[in-house]
């Protein structure tokens, strides 16, 4: 059995500016320094045997903050990167809604069929995230590990772990920056212990300014955050 702490990266430039980041290697910004301090403190006593991260700056710097208390090697894996949004990267949702309303409707209503122009499909993200998680689990039997990734990528893994078709991905809430989910892997199966808990982040440090009291973050709008 492998216990996996799945952490979304801290606030980054795209989150602050309301732009789609996708594979764009945006740096951290806004509330990131305070968020990083809090996620590091939250996870400081977890018995991590290994830390894995997307190689994108916003994820890797989050992994480094967590690793401050663990002093482990950080393993990067490109399969943990965010969805490739192709021609949509660096764009605002408002601009996309004006120019590509039909595909945006697919994103909102039938995500299993979504693929941005020149980008990656949701089903491809689900498959690579599951493959990465299974490999990490096999490498760490009986251990607890930390994996740092991105908003859509994490939702994709949670969707698969819950046994849902990608078309049901909108059943999975968007997690705030540095939100934590925990999965337990046994063989080829995964159990979601909890997801998207951001209780360590006060509302004033949330990109979404949630009024939920700092607990599990619900979907903020029908399009979601900016990955």
What are the pLDDT digits (tens) for 45-80?
A: 999 999 999 999 999 999 999 999 999 999 999 999
Q: Quick count: other Cβ atoms within 10 Å of Cβ 37?
A: 14
**Residue 172, domain extent:** 2-205
Q: Is residue 219 part of a domain?
A: no
Radius of gyration of the CA atoms of the chain, in A: 16
Strand 74-76 versus strand 189-197 pairing type: unpaired
- According to the model, what pLDDT value does residue 209 have? 57
Identify the segments of the chain with pLDDT beneath 70. Answer: 209-227
CATH number of the domain where residue 108 is located: 3.40.50.1240
Alpha-carbon gap, residue 144 to 193, rounded angstroms: 13
Write down the mean pLDDT value for the chain: 89
- According to the model, what pLDDT value does residue 94 have? 85
Alpha-carbon gap, residue 85 to 87, rounded angstroms: 6
Q: Is residue 114 part of a domain?
A: yes
Q: Is residue 226 part of a domain?
A: no
CB 2 within 8 A of CB 145: yes
Q: Is residue 223 part of a domain?
A: no
Q: Is residue 225 part of a domain?
A: no
pLDDT of 108-136, one tens digit each? 888 889 998 899 999 999 999 999 999 99
Q: Is residue 169 part of a domain?
A: yes
Q: Is residue 220 part of a domain?
A: no
Q: Is residue 217 part of a domain?
A: no
Q: What are phi and psi of 55, to 5 degrees?
A: -75, -10
E strand or H helix that includes residue 175: none
Give the total number of structural domains in the chain. 1
Strand partners, 144: 3, 48
- According to the model, what pLDDT value does residue 226 have? 56
């Amino acid at each position: 059995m492998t216990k996996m702490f799945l952490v979304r990266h801290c606030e980054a430039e795209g989150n602050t500016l309301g732009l789609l980041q996708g594979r764009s290697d945006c740096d951290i910004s806004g509330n990131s320094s305070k968020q990083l301090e809090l996620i590091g403190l939250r996870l400081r006593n977890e018995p991590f045997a290994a830390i894995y991260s997307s190689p994108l700056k916003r994820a890797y710097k989050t992994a480094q903050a967590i690793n401050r208390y663990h002093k482990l090697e950080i393993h990067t894996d490109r399969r943990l990167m965010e969805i490739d949004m192709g021609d949509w990267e660096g764009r605002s949702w408002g601009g996309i809604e004006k120019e590509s309303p039909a595909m945006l409707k697919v994103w909102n209503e039938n995500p299993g069929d979504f693929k941005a122009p020149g980008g990656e499909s949701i089903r491809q993200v689900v498959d690579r995230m599951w493959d990465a998680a299974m490999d990490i689990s096999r490498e760490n039997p009986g251990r607890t590990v930390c994996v740092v990734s991105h908003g859509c990528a994490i939702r994709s893994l949670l969707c698969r772990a819950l046994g849902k078709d990608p078309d049901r991905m909108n059943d999975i809430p968007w997690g705030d920056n540095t939100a934590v989910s925990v999965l337990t892997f046994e063989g080829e199966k995964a159990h979601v212990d909890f997801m998207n808990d951001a209780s360590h982040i006060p509302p004033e440090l949330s990109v979404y300014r949630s009024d939920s009291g700092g607990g599990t973050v619900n979907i903020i709008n029908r399009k979601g955050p900016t990955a």
